[in-house]
Chains A and B, each alone.
Chain A
Protein backbone atom coordinates (compact mmCIF):
# COMPACT_ATOMS: atom_id res chain seq x y z
CA UNK A 1 0.00 0.00 0.00
CA UNK A 2 2.85 2.29 0.70
CA UNK A 3 4.64 3.45 -2.39
CA UNK A 4 8.31 2.91 -1.89
CA UNK A 5 9.39 6.00 -3.73
CA UNK A 6 9.59 9.50 -2.46
CA UNK A 7 7.26 10.84 -5.11
CA UNK A 8 8.51 13.19 -7.73
CA UNK A 9 9.57 16.60 -6.57
CA UNK A 10 6.88 19.14 -7.31
CA UNK A 11 7.88 21.42 -10.11
CA UNK A 12 6.50 24.84 -10.89
CA UNK A 13 3.95 25.00 -13.63
CA UNK A 14 5.31 26.40 -16.87
CA UNK A 15 5.36 30.15 -16.49
CA UNK A 16 2.32 31.93 -17.82
CA UNK A 17 2.78 34.27 -20.70
CA UNK A 18 4.26 37.19 -18.81
CA UNK A 19 6.41 39.95 -20.11
CA UNK A 20 9.96 39.76 -18.84
CA UNK A 21 10.45 42.42 -16.20
CA UNK A 22 6.72 42.78 -15.56
CA UNK A 23 5.40 42.62 -12.02
CA UNK A 24 4.02 39.14 -12.67
CA UNK A 25 7.35 37.84 -13.95
CA UNK A 26 9.28 39.40 -11.11
CA UNK A 27 6.92 38.08 -8.47
CA UNK A 28 7.26 34.60 -10.01
CA UNK A 29 11.06 34.84 -9.95
CA UNK A 30 11.02 35.92 -6.34
CA UNK A 31 8.75 33.10 -5.20
CA UNK A 32 10.82 30.57 -7.15
CA UNK A 33 13.96 31.86 -5.43
CA UNK A 34 12.32 31.64 -2.02
CA UNK A 35 10.69 28.22 -2.23
CA UNK A 36 11.92 26.32 -5.28
CA UNK A 37 15.67 26.80 -5.33
CA UNK A 38 15.48 29.37 -8.12
CA UNK A 39 18.28 31.87 -8.66
CA UNK A 40 18.09 35.03 -6.54
CA UNK A 41 16.45 37.80 -8.57
CA UNK A 42 18.83 40.61 -9.46
CA UNK A 43 19.15 43.55 -7.12
CA UNK A 44 17.81 41.96 -3.93
CA UNK A 45 20.06 42.10 -0.89
CA UNK A 46 21.14 38.48 -0.34
CA UNK A 47 21.13 38.48 3.48
CA UNK A 48 17.50 39.50 3.98
CA UNK A 49 16.39 37.20 1.16
CA UNK A 50 18.17 34.25 2.80
CA UNK A 51 16.54 35.13 6.13
CA UNK A 52 13.12 35.15 4.47
CA UNK A 53 13.84 31.79 2.80
CA UNK A 54 14.82 30.25 6.14
CA UNK A 55 11.78 31.74 7.87
CA UNK A 56 9.48 30.22 5.22
CA UNK A 57 11.01 26.79 5.80
CA UNK A 58 10.54 27.06 9.57
CA UNK A 59 6.93 28.13 9.07
CA UNK A 60 6.34 25.14 6.78
CA UNK A 61 7.85 22.85 9.41
CA UNK A 62 5.34 24.18 11.92
CA UNK A 63 2.46 23.51 9.55
CA UNK A 64 3.67 19.98 8.84
CA UNK A 65 4.00 19.32 12.57
CA UNK A 66 0.35 20.29 13.02
CA UNK A 67 -0.75 17.81 10.35
CA UNK A 68 1.76 15.12 11.37
CA UNK A 69 2.30 15.49 15.11
CA UNK A 70 3.75 11.99 15.51
CA UNK A 71 6.19 12.50 12.64
CA UNK A 72 7.53 15.62 14.35
CA UNK A 73 7.48 14.01 17.80
CA UNK A 74 9.08 10.82 16.49
CA UNK A 75 11.98 12.75 15.01
CA UNK A 76 12.39 14.51 18.36
CA UNK A 77 15.48 16.71 18.43
CA UNK A 78 16.00 16.16 14.68
CA UNK A 79 12.78 18.11 14.05
CA UNK A 80 12.55 20.61 12.35
CA UNK A 81 16.06 20.24 10.85
CA UNK A 82 15.12 16.98 9.11
CA UNK A 83 12.12 18.61 7.50
CA UNK A 84 14.00 21.74 6.50
CA UNK A 85 16.77 19.73 4.86
CA UNK A 86 14.20 17.74 2.90
CA UNK A 87 12.01 20.72 2.01
CA UNK A 88 14.72 23.18 0.96
CA UNK A 89 14.21 23.92 -2.73
CA UNK A 90 11.05 21.79 -2.86
CA UNK A 91 7.87 23.85 -3.28
CA UNK A 92 5.12 23.15 -0.77
CA UNK A 93 2.04 21.12 -1.49
CA UNK A 94 0.58 22.17 1.86
CA UNK A 95 1.30 20.77 5.31
CA UNK A 96 -0.59 17.51 4.78
CA UNK A 97 1.21 16.60 1.55
CA UNK A 98 4.61 17.89 2.64
CA UNK A 99 4.51 15.70 5.74
CA UNK A 100 3.21 12.75 3.76
CA UNK A 101 5.98 13.04 1.18
CA UNK A 102 8.62 13.34 3.89
CA UNK A 103 7.21 10.36 5.82
CA UNK A 104 7.28 8.23 2.66
CA UNK A 105 10.81 9.40 1.85
CA UNK A 106 12.01 8.47 5.34
CA UNK A 107 10.15 5.17 5.16
CA UNK A 108 11.82 4.38 1.84
CA UNK A 109 15.21 4.67 3.46
CA UNK A 110 14.12 2.90 6.66
CA UNK A 111 14.53 6.09 8.66
CA UNK A 112 10.91 6.59 9.73
CA UNK A 113 10.52 6.55 13.53
CA UNK A 114 8.05 4.00 14.96
CA UNK A 115 5.51 6.61 16.09
CA UNK A 116 5.59 8.22 12.68
CA UNK A 117 5.18 4.83 10.99
CA UNK A 118 1.91 4.31 12.86
CA UNK A 119 0.73 7.75 11.82
CA UNK A 120 1.65 7.05 8.20
CA UNK A 121 -0.04 3.63 8.22
CA UNK A 122 -3.26 5.19 9.49
CA UNK A 123 -3.15 7.90 6.82
CA UNK A 124 -2.44 5.39 4.05
CA UNK A 125 -5.49 3.41 5.14
CA UNK A 126 -7.69 6.50 5.26
CA UNK A 127 -6.66 8.28 2.11
CA UNK A 128 -5.55 7.54 -1.40
CA UNK A 129 -2.56 9.76 -2.15
CA UNK A 130 -0.68 9.47 -5.43
CA UNK A 131 2.04 11.94 -4.53
CA UNK A 132 0.80 14.45 -7.09
CA UNK A 133 -2.70 15.54 -6.18
CA UNK A 134 -4.52 16.26 -2.92
CA UNK A 135 -5.16 13.04 -0.93
CA UNK A 136 -8.69 11.67 -1.30
CA UNK A 137 -10.60 9.76 1.33
CA UNK A 138 -10.88 6.06 0.45
CA UNK A 139 -14.39 4.74 -0.10
CA UNK A 140 -13.52 1.05 0.02
CA UNK A 141 -11.86 -0.91 2.85
CA UNK A 142 -8.08 -0.64 2.84
CA UNK A 143 -4.93 -1.59 4.68
CA UNK A 144 -2.16 0.87 5.38
CA UNK A 145 1.34 -0.34 6.14
CA UNK A 146 4.48 1.48 7.13
CA UNK A 147 7.41 -0.12 8.86
CA UNK A 148 5.84 -2.81 11.04
CA UNK A 149 2.66 -0.84 11.56
CA UNK A 150 -0.57 -1.98 9.93
CA UNK A 151 -3.79 0.02 9.97
CA UNK A 152 -7.12 -1.14 8.62
CA UNK A 153 -9.90 1.09 7.44
CA UNK A 154 -13.47 -0.14 7.04
CA UNK A 155 -16.45 2.14 6.39
CA UNK A 156 -14.34 5.17 7.21
CA UNK A 157 -13.17 3.90 10.63
CA UNK A 158 -9.50 3.20 11.09
CA UNK A 159 -7.85 0.89 13.59
CA UNK A 160 -4.20 0.29 14.12
CA UNK A 161 -3.97 -3.53 13.96
CA UNK A 162 -0.34 -3.89 14.73
CA UNK A 163 1.68 -1.10 16.23
CA UNK A 164 5.29 -0.84 15.23
CA UNK A 165 7.59 -3.03 17.27
CA UNK A 166 10.26 -1.13 19.11
Chain B
Protein backbone atom coordinates (compact mmCIF):
# COMPACT_ATOMS: atom_id res chain seq x y z
CA UNK B 1 0.00 0.00 0.00
CA UNK B 2 1.17 3.49 -0.77
CA UNK B 3 1.78 6.01 1.98
CA UNK B 4 -1.10 8.43 2.69
CA UNK B 5 -1.87 10.95 -0.04
CA UNK B 6 -4.45 13.68 -0.32
CA UNK B 7 -7.55 14.09 1.80
CA UNK B 8 -8.52 11.24 4.11
CA UNK B 9 -11.12 10.57 6.75
CA UNK B 10 -11.10 8.64 9.99
CA UNK B 11 -13.09 5.49 9.24
CA UNK B 12 -15.71 4.82 11.93
CA UNK B 13 -18.50 2.19 11.80
CA UNK B 14 -21.16 4.93 12.09
CA UNK B 15 -20.03 6.60 8.85
CA UNK B 16 -18.83 3.51 6.97
CA UNK B 17 -21.50 3.98 4.29
CA UNK B 18 -20.55 7.60 3.73
CA UNK B 19 -16.85 6.76 3.55
CA UNK B 20 -17.43 3.89 1.12
CA UNK B 21 -19.09 6.27 -1.33
CA UNK B 22 -16.39 8.95 -1.47
CA UNK B 23 -15.24 8.60 -5.07
CA UNK B 24 -11.78 10.16 -4.80
CA UNK B 25 -10.79 8.76 -1.41
CA UNK B 26 -7.33 7.18 -1.21
CA UNK B 27 -6.63 7.16 2.50
CA UNK B 28 -8.43 6.36 5.76
CA UNK B 29 -7.42 5.73 9.34
CA UNK B 30 -8.95 3.08 11.56
CA UNK B 31 -8.72 2.95 15.35
CA UNK B 32 -6.28 0.06 15.78
CA UNK B 33 -7.81 -1.22 19.01
CA UNK B 34 -11.18 -1.63 17.26
CA UNK B 35 -9.84 -4.11 14.70
CA UNK B 36 -9.96 -7.76 15.76
CA UNK B 37 -6.94 -9.74 14.65
CA UNK B 38 -8.40 -13.21 15.08
CA UNK B 39 -9.98 -13.45 11.66
CA UNK B 40 -10.46 -11.35 8.57
CA UNK B 41 -10.65 -7.55 8.88
CA UNK B 42 -14.09 -5.88 8.75
CA UNK B 43 -15.66 -6.14 5.28
CA UNK B 44 -15.90 -2.37 4.86
CA UNK B 45 -12.15 -2.00 5.34
CA UNK B 46 -11.39 -4.89 2.99
CA UNK B 47 -13.54 -3.24 0.31
CA UNK B 48 -11.73 0.07 0.75
CA UNK B 49 -8.35 -1.61 0.60
CA UNK B 50 -9.38 -3.53 -2.54
CA UNK B 51 -10.19 -0.15 -4.11
CA UNK B 52 -6.61 0.93 -3.44
CA UNK B 53 -7.45 3.02 -0.37
CA UNK B 54 -4.59 3.08 2.13
CA UNK B 55 -5.72 2.11 5.65
CA UNK B 56 -3.56 3.39 8.51
CA UNK B 57 -4.06 1.81 11.96
CA UNK B 58 -4.21 4.60 14.54
CA UNK B 59 -3.51 3.40 18.07
CA UNK B 60 -5.03 5.22 21.03
CA UNK B 61 -4.19 2.97 23.99
CA UNK B 62 -0.52 2.01 23.76
CA UNK B 63 0.36 4.62 26.38
CA UNK B 64 3.81 5.18 24.91
CA UNK B 65 4.35 7.99 27.39
CA UNK B 66 3.74 5.79 30.43
CA UNK B 67 6.62 5.48 32.86
CA UNK B 68 6.24 1.70 32.68
CA UNK B 69 7.45 -0.28 29.65
CA UNK B 70 4.81 -0.41 26.92
CA UNK B 71 2.64 -3.56 27.07
CA UNK B 72 4.09 -6.05 24.53
CA UNK B 73 0.61 -7.50 23.87
CA UNK B 74 -0.68 -4.08 22.81
CA UNK B 75 2.31 -3.57 20.51
CA UNK B 76 1.78 -7.06 19.07
CA UNK B 77 -1.86 -6.20 18.35
CA UNK B 78 -0.92 -2.98 16.57
CA UNK B 79 1.67 -4.90 14.53
CA UNK B 80 -0.90 -7.55 13.63
CA UNK B 81 -3.44 -4.95 12.53
CA UNK B 82 -0.80 -3.28 10.34
CA UNK B 83 -0.08 -6.62 8.69
CA UNK B 84 -3.75 -7.54 8.33
CA UNK B 85 -4.51 -4.28 6.54
CA UNK B 86 -1.22 -4.15 4.59
CA UNK B 87 -0.68 -0.71 6.10
CA UNK B 88 2.36 1.33 5.07
CA UNK B 89 2.65 2.83 8.56
CA UNK B 90 0.91 3.04 11.92
CA UNK B 91 0.38 5.99 14.21
CA UNK B 92 0.13 6.62 17.95
CA UNK B 93 0.37 9.48 20.41
CA UNK B 94 2.97 11.15 22.55
CA UNK B 95 0.85 10.66 25.65
CA UNK B 96 -0.03 8.27 28.43
CA UNK B 97 -3.48 6.82 29.06
CA UNK B 98 -3.07 4.80 32.26
CA UNK B 99 -1.00 4.76 35.44
CA UNK B 100 -1.10 3.08 38.83
CA UNK B 101 -3.62 0.52 37.59
CA UNK B 102 -6.16 3.14 36.49
CA UNK B 103 -7.34 3.97 32.99
CA UNK B 104 -7.60 7.70 32.33
CA UNK B 105 -9.94 7.12 29.39
CA UNK B 106 -8.16 9.71 27.29
CA UNK B 107 -4.75 10.90 26.15
CA UNK B 108 -2.88 12.73 28.89
CA UNK B 109 0.15 14.98 28.47
CA UNK B 110 3.63 14.12 29.71
CA UNK B 111 5.70 16.50 31.73
CA UNK B 112 8.11 18.12 29.29
CA UNK B 113 11.06 16.85 31.30
CA UNK B 114 14.20 14.94 30.37
CA UNK B 115 12.97 12.03 32.48
CA UNK B 116 9.73 11.88 30.45
CA UNK B 117 11.60 12.17 27.14
CA UNK B 118 13.74 9.19 28.19
CA UNK B 119 10.66 7.17 29.15
CA UNK B 120 8.67 7.86 25.99
CA UNK B 121 11.69 7.33 23.71
CA UNK B 122 12.41 3.98 25.37
CA UNK B 123 8.82 2.89 24.72
CA UNK B 124 8.82 4.13 21.13
CA UNK B 125 12.02 2.19 20.46
CA UNK B 126 10.48 -0.92 22.08
CA UNK B 127 7.43 -0.55 19.81
CA UNK B 128 9.51 0.13 16.69
CA UNK B 129 11.43 -3.11 17.28
CA UNK B 130 8.19 -5.11 16.99
CA UNK B 131 6.30 -3.15 14.33
CA UNK B 132 6.58 -4.23 10.68
CA UNK B 133 6.19 -0.64 9.42
CA UNK B 134 7.24 2.88 10.51
CA UNK B 135 5.36 4.68 13.24
CA UNK B 136 4.16 8.28 13.07
CA UNK B 137 3.80 10.09 16.41
CA UNK B 138 1.05 12.56 17.18
CA UNK B 139 1.50 15.38 19.70
CA UNK B 140 -1.75 15.71 21.65
CA UNK B 141 -4.05 18.53 22.71
CA UNK B 142 -3.67 19.09 26.45
CA UNK B 143 -5.93 21.13 28.69
CA UNK B 144 -3.22 21.42 31.35
CA UNK B 145 0.55 21.44 31.66
CA UNK B 146 2.72 19.86 34.32
CA UNK B 147 4.08 22.34 36.84
CA UNK B 148 7.77 21.66 36.30
CA UNK B 149 8.31 21.56 32.54
CA UNK B 150 11.99 21.80 31.63
CA UNK B 151 11.52 22.03 27.85
CA UNK B 152 9.22 24.04 25.66
CA UNK B 153 6.91 22.10 23.38
CA UNK B 154 9.05 22.35 20.25
CA UNK B 155 12.24 21.24 22.05
CA UNK B 156 10.35 18.39 23.72
CA UNK B 157 8.89 17.12 20.42
CA UNK B 158 12.09 17.62 18.44
CA UNK B 159 14.11 15.68 21.00
CA UNK B 160 11.68 12.74 20.73
CA UNK B 161 11.61 12.86 16.93
CA UNK B 162 15.40 12.99 16.69
CA UNK B 163 16.03 10.20 19.14
CA UNK B 164 13.49 7.80 17.66
CA UNK B 165 13.62 8.66 13.94
CA UNK B 166 9.83 8.43 13.93
CA UNK B 167 7.55 10.20 11.48
CA UNK B 168 5.33 13.05 12.62
CA UNK B 169 1.53 12.95 12.63
CA UNK B 170 0.76 16.60 13.14
CA UNK B 171 -2.75 17.41 14.34
CA UNK B 172 -3.48 20.97 13.31
CA UNK B 173 -6.45 21.18 15.67
CA UNK B 174 -4.24 20.09 18.57
CA UNK B 175 -1.67 22.74 17.71
CA UNK B 176 -4.46 25.32 17.55
CA UNK B 177 -6.06 24.14 20.82
CA UNK B 178 -2.80 24.19 22.78
CA UNK B 179 -1.79 27.59 21.48
CA UNK B 180 -5.21 29.07 22.21
CA UNK B 181 -5.39 27.61 25.72
CA UNK B 182 -1.81 28.62 26.57
CA UNK B 183 -1.99 31.97 24.85
CA UNK B 184 0.91 31.16 22.54
CA UNK B 185 1.41 31.51 18.77
CA UNK B 186 0.68 28.30 16.85
CA UNK B 187 2.79 29.45 13.90
CA UNK B 188 5.82 29.88 16.16
CA UNK B 189 5.52 26.19 17.07
CA UNK B 190 5.04 25.10 13.44
CA UNK B 191 8.16 27.04 12.46
CA UNK B 192 10.24 24.94 14.83
CA UNK B 193 8.86 21.49 13.95
CA UNK B 194 10.38 19.21 11.29
CA UNK B 195 7.55 19.61 8.77
CA UNK B 196 9.43 17.46 6.24
CA UNK B 197 8.88 14.53 8.65
CA UNK B 198 5.07 14.88 8.53
CA UNK B 199 3.47 11.64 7.32
CA UNK B 200 0.01 13.22 7.38
CA UNK B 201 -2.05 15.77 9.25
CA UNK B 202 -5.11 15.48 11.42
CA UNK B 203 -7.84 18.09 11.25
CA UNK B 204 -10.84 18.17 13.59
CA UNK B 205 -13.45 20.43 15.10
CA UNK B 206 -13.69 21.68 18.63
CA UNK B 207 -15.63 24.02 20.87
CA UNK B 208 -15.12 26.58 23.58
CA UNK B 209 -16.48 25.51 26.95
CA UNK B 210 -15.84 27.02 30.35
CA UNK B 211 -13.06 29.25 29.10
CA UNK B 212 -11.14 26.41 27.42
CA UNK B 213 -11.03 25.32 23.81
CA UNK B 214 -11.82 21.61 23.69
CA UNK B 215 -10.63 19.45 20.79
CA UNK B 216 -13.91 17.53 20.73
CA UNK B 217 -13.97 15.86 17.29
CA UNK B 218 -17.75 16.28 17.57
CA UNK B 219 -18.05 19.90 16.43
CA UNK B 220 -17.53 21.51 13.02
CA UNK B 221 -14.00 22.55 12.04
CA UNK B 222 -13.57 26.23 12.88
CA UNK B 223 -12.29 28.87 10.53
CA UNK B 224 -9.17 29.38 12.67
CA UNK B 225 -8.18 25.72 12.31
CA UNK B 226 -8.67 25.83 8.54
CA UNK B 227 -6.60 29.02 8.37
CA UNK B 228 -3.82 27.35 10.34
CA UNK B 229 -4.03 24.35 8.00
CA UNK B 230 -3.60 26.68 5.02
CA UNK B 231 -0.66 28.46 6.70
CA UNK B 232 0.99 25.13 7.42
CA UNK B 233 0.46 23.90 3.85
CA UNK B 234 1.95 27.13 2.51
CA UNK B 235 5.09 26.53 4.60
CA UNK B 236 5.49 22.89 3.67
CA UNK B 237 2.65 21.04 2.01
CA UNK B 238 2.05 17.72 3.79
CA UNK B 239 1.48 14.53 1.78
CA UNK B 240 -1.98 14.05 3.27
CA UNK B 241 -4.55 15.48 5.68
CA UNK B 242 -7.27 13.52 7.46
CA UNK B 243 -10.60 14.61 8.95
CA UNK B 244 -11.30 13.16 12.38
CA UNK B 245 -14.93 13.01 13.47
CA UNK B 246 -15.88 10.92 16.50
CA UNK B 247 -19.54 11.48 17.20
CA UNK B 248 -22.59 13.70 16.64
CA UNK B 249 -22.12 12.87 12.98
CA UNK B 250 -23.59 15.61 10.80
CA UNK B 251 -25.51 15.04 7.55
CA UNK B 252 -23.36 13.77 4.68
CA UNK B 253 -23.43 17.15 2.95
CA UNK B 254 -21.75 18.80 5.95
CA UNK B 255 -19.03 16.15 6.10
CA UNK B 256 -18.43 16.62 2.36
CA UNK B 257 -18.14 20.36 2.87
CA UNK B 258 -15.51 19.80 5.57
CA UNK B 259 -13.54 17.40 3.37
CA UNK B 260 -13.66 19.94 0.53
CA UNK B 261 -12.50 22.71 2.87
CA UNK B 262 -9.50 20.60 3.90
CA UNK B 263 -8.70 19.92 0.23
CA UNK B 264 -8.91 23.62 -0.55
CA UNK B 265 -6.70 24.63 2.40
CA UNK B 266 -4.00 22.12 1.41
CA UNK B 267 -4.32 22.40 -2.36
CA UNK B 268 -5.35 18.75 -2.71
CA UNK B 269 -7.85 17.34 -5.21
CA UNK B 270 -11.36 17.02 -3.78
CA UNK B 271 -12.37 13.47 -2.83
CA UNK B 272 -16.12 14.02 -2.61
Contacts and interface: CB of A to CB of B under 8 A. Distances in A.
Interface of A: 12-16, 18, 22-32, 34-36, 42-45, 47-49, 51-52, 54-56, 59-60, 62-63, 91-92, 94
Contacts of B119: 23
B99 A27 contact: yes
Contact of A23 (B103, B115, B144): B115
B73 interface: no
A94 B61 CA distance: 13
B214 interface: yes
Contacts, number: 98
Interface of B: 66-68, 96, 98-106, 108, 111, 113, 115-116, 119, 143-148, 181, 210-212, 214, 218, 247
Contact of A52 (B100, B115, B116, B144): B144
B160 to A, nearest CB: 15
Q: Which of B67, B113, B147 has the most CB of A within 10 A?
A: B67
19 contacts: A12-B100, A13-B101, A14-B101, A18-B100, A23-B111, A23-B116, A24-B68, A27-B100, A29-B100, A30-B108, A32-B102, A36-B102, A48-B145, A48-B181, A49-B144, A51-B144, A51-B211, A52-B144, A59-B105
Contact of B148 (A14, A30, A34, A43): A43
B67 A56 contact: no
A54 B106 CA distance: 12
B163 to A, nearest CB: 17
